[in-house]
Structure 1
């Protein structure tokens, strides 16, 4: 699950506070405890030695258990912070001043005692606590000799059980104060940390807000200002993602605005051209009709027939132009449905060639289909494909001079069938190839005949091919002819 910005902040601050507080408390407690033990051990390091040298029982090395117990009891009354033990040379506890159930060990490890007696520099040194199975205590120790022979050790625990219980009671009050001060310090630390973090995370937000305000003041025209460049590919930072999205949104909006301006310009130019094209046949029709109406009886039957034929021809041209305008508008709205079905492509090509054969014969143009026999099946919309091929063939006939040749070629390429229409006509210059599919664009060397043309055929064919998931490509050389081609999906069993 992806965490939000607030959740990451809360978890980070809480975890940092807990870890820092725990480490600080543990470190300070350990340091204070070690310092206290070092000071106490140094302060009482000679305690066992003085007792061993000053007390007659211990000085002479005579072991008298009742006397030693009485001595240890007296010393504990005078110094309740100490515990006294007499050990044999092996470390076994022989005498102590406590109830038997208080003693948990039979012996203690002599290595710390020997270390302390021989080296009193590296303190604190901890020895076994006889009143605990695993506890360690600071201590003072001294060897006991009798006529030069080691009789045992005087082992004095510094800060015994009574001292610990009393100190714990006093320390509880101190801990309350320390905890209170620690909580206050922690809250101040958290506050400062939160302020720093919130400042760190809100600076980009303020920067983004300033960019939005500047964009608003410039009427959402990003060309008049410089937006902040945000770091890329940082999906874990919502602010960076928001900034990148904002910049991309502004760029898309400006591109769309520029496209709308360009489309509006193109639309106005198209309307101007179409208005002229509509006005021309209308004016011709109106002129001939008015002539027939005013001079009907004065005109001969031959003149009337010629005038009416001209009116009919202009009417057909006007209808063709209007049909193409509506067809192009319908295609640009994206509301055209596609009816895909399998059919033999060769049959459609031969039907279209037959439809235009008479028109080609009038201009003495040869129409060829290569190959003559083809069994390839394609999966496409037959009506729209027929419209595309008709527009391309009509365009080829119009731009091919007399005695020219037009070839419709069907080629198989793996899972596709490519259909091309090539001619030996006037061709198109290289500079104009990128514009021939624009509505109303006419090449500088376009051929003219007795009929006016709307110039929308190629634009309609281009949009129809895109609906069929194809695209019309063109190759042409000026004065040598042109070749228009597109590809269709071929059925596997064909």
Structure 2
């Protein structure tokens, strides 16, 4: 059973007060009972001695059982709070006035009697109760002699006589004063105990507040501080709160680092894109200025060459701008996905036909495996067309003349895997982890004759993430590359 902090504090305080209250009650009852017994025993201390000296039967030390029984009976009628017993010198009970079945023991211990007779100032003294096997009671006792020889003892058990006047004097003694001090000390002890317990229970809270202030002073940078190890204990709210706070600080720190890294990447990307934008613009401006300055002095061939260069740079500039807008749109996270069922073979044939002329110009074989494909998939046609177009275009740029590019399709239960395989320049293992980063250009692209925008693979990665198609790349430098992803198959 899980308890909240308030419940634990409430139970602790309640338990502490119950224990203290019980101890106080026990001490009070014990002291009151002791004071009562002390008063009663002192009040009747000489009772047995007076009876022994004033009664002829006991004064002469003559033992007469029937006469003593009558005497004890008479005395008990006069004083019903007392019980009278005649003991021999060994403590055996010889005479009493009571029913035999009420007497539980046949002898009593003589040591308390001797203590009371020799040291009557040390009260109360308890002796054996003949009517109980283990009980103890206060008593009065006197020795009985016969011609100088100890005959036995008169043993008087003192019962509950009213003693208000005597108790009023006794209650002001040192023990009751000590009792008052004990009560005060107990309350002080309870207060100290409660303060210690509250401090113990609130220590984790103070520690958590201290760590919060420390994190705040370090601008939520957890790398500069050492947070405590808080446990994810659902039964302990403070530990759970500390654990959640530590996770929150870690998450905030990760997000701050990510924002810092994104800001750095954004600045680098802007710088690189600015350079890429300036390059075709500068080329276009230079050729247009040349045409404008030289005018009719230019030959028709030179004018046509200049205009073709301007047109090529314009197309490159438009492509780069389109890709920048497309990537920004994808990263904004507001792109909608229109899923539908369609045959993947037909879409790939259309895409292959679109790149057939470009492939033939480089004498590259562009094929589909298997040649006839009737698999149905559930995906977004437009985004899938963009992914395959980027992959095939990327393969054409990195595959030399007389090379080969294959679009391989495999059906595996509920998934259709599409792979674009080429035998081109390949990608080194060092570059493989970064090829999907925006503006990253691998080493196999650094000698290209025609520059490209450099955002195609980054856009492809974003699109495959939207379609829940995990992109996998395998490549070996000088031998070619394979870009593969899978789509949800539709079983007819």
Q: Where on the TM-score scale, by shorter chain, does this alignment land: which range?
A: 0.7 to 0.9
Change (3 A) 1:181 1:38: closer
Partner SS state of residue 435, structure 1 = coil
> How far apart, CA to CA, are the structure 1 residues paired with 2:169 and 2:355?
115
Alignment correspondent of 1:116: 108
The answer as to whether partners of 2:408 and 2:419 remain within 8 angstroms in 1 is yes
The answer as to whether partners of 2:48 and 2:156 remain within 8 angstroms in 1 is yes
Partner SS state of residue 232, structure 2 = coil
Partner SS state of residue 66, structure 2 = coil
The answer as to whether partners of 1:346 and 1:376 remain within 8 angstroms in 2 is yes
- After TM superposition, give the deviation of residue 37 of structure 1 in Å: 6.6
Alignment correspondent of 1:147: none
Alignment correspondent of 1:60: 64
What's the C-alpha RMSD, in Å, of the aligned pairs?
4.3
The answer as to whether partners of 1:365 and 1:403 remain within 8 angstroms in 2 is yes
- After TM superposition, give the deviation of residue 488 of structure 1 in Å: 1.9
Once the two structures are superposed, residues 318-365 of structure 1 have per-residue CA deviations (whole angstroms, 9 ceiling, x without a partner) of: 111111001111111111122222222222222222221111111111
The answer as to whether partners of 2:351 and 2:388 remain within 8 angstroms in 1 is yes
Change (3 A) 1:406 1:176: farther
Once the two structures are superposed, residues 152-172 of structure 1 have per-residue CA deviations (whole angstroms, 9 ceiling, x without a partner) of: xx9954223x34898999999
Partner SS state of residue 421, structure 2 = strand
Alignment correspondent of 2:89: none
- TM-score of the superposition, structure 1-length normalised? 0.77
Q: Unmatched 5+ residue regions in structure 1?
A: 97-105, 130-135, 143-153
> How far apart, CA to CA, are the structure 2 residues paired with 1:337 and 1:378?
18
- After TM superposition, give the deviation of residue 293 of structure 1 in Å: 3.4
Alignment correspondent of 2:12: 12
Once the two structures are superposed, residues 145-201 of structure 1 have per-residue CA deviations (whole angstroms, 9 ceiling, x without a partner) of: xxxxxxxxx9954223x3489899999999999997666444322321232223334
> How far apart, CA to CA, are the structure 2 residues paired with 1:369 and 1:124?
115
Alignment correspondent of 1:257: 256
Once the two structures are superposed, residues 272-308 of structure 1 have per-residue CA deviations (whole angstroms, 9 ceiling, x without a partner) of: 1111111111122223333343444444555444433
Partner SS state of residue 137, structure 2 = strand
Q: After superposing the two structures, state which structure 1 stretch, 53-62 or 263-272, moved more.
A: 53-62
- After TM superposition, give the deviation of residue 7 of structure 1 in Å: 3.6
Once the two structures are superposed, residues 66-117 of structure 1 have per-residue CA deviations (whole angstroms, 9 ceiling, x without a partner) of: 865543344x2xxx8x323799xxx9x9968xxxxxxxxx774322x32526
Alignment correspondent of 1:484: 483
Alignment correspondent of 1:232: 231
Alignment correspondent of 2:390: 391
Q: Unmatched 5+ residue regions in structure 2?
A: 87-92, 114-124, 142-153
> How far apart, CA to CA, are the structure 1 residues paired with 2:12 and 2:111?
48
* 1:109-258 alignment runs, 5 A limit: 109-111=102-104, 113-116=105-108, 125-126=128-129, 128=131, 138=137, 157-160=157-160, 162-163=161-162, 184-223=184-223, 225-258=224-257
> How far apart, CA to CA, are the structure 1 residues paired with 2:169 and 2:42?
23
> How far apart, CA to CA, are the structure 2 residues paired with 1:64 and 1:209?
85
> How far apart, CA to CA, are the structure 2 residues paired with 1:374 and 1:169?
114
* Count of matched residue positions in the alignment of Structure 1 and Structure 2: 457
- TM-score of the superposition, structure 2-length normalised? 0.77
> How far apart, CA to CA, are the structure 1 residues paired with 2:352 and 2:127?
111
Q: After superposing the two structures, state which structure 1 stretch, 392-401 or 449-458, moved more.
A: 449-458
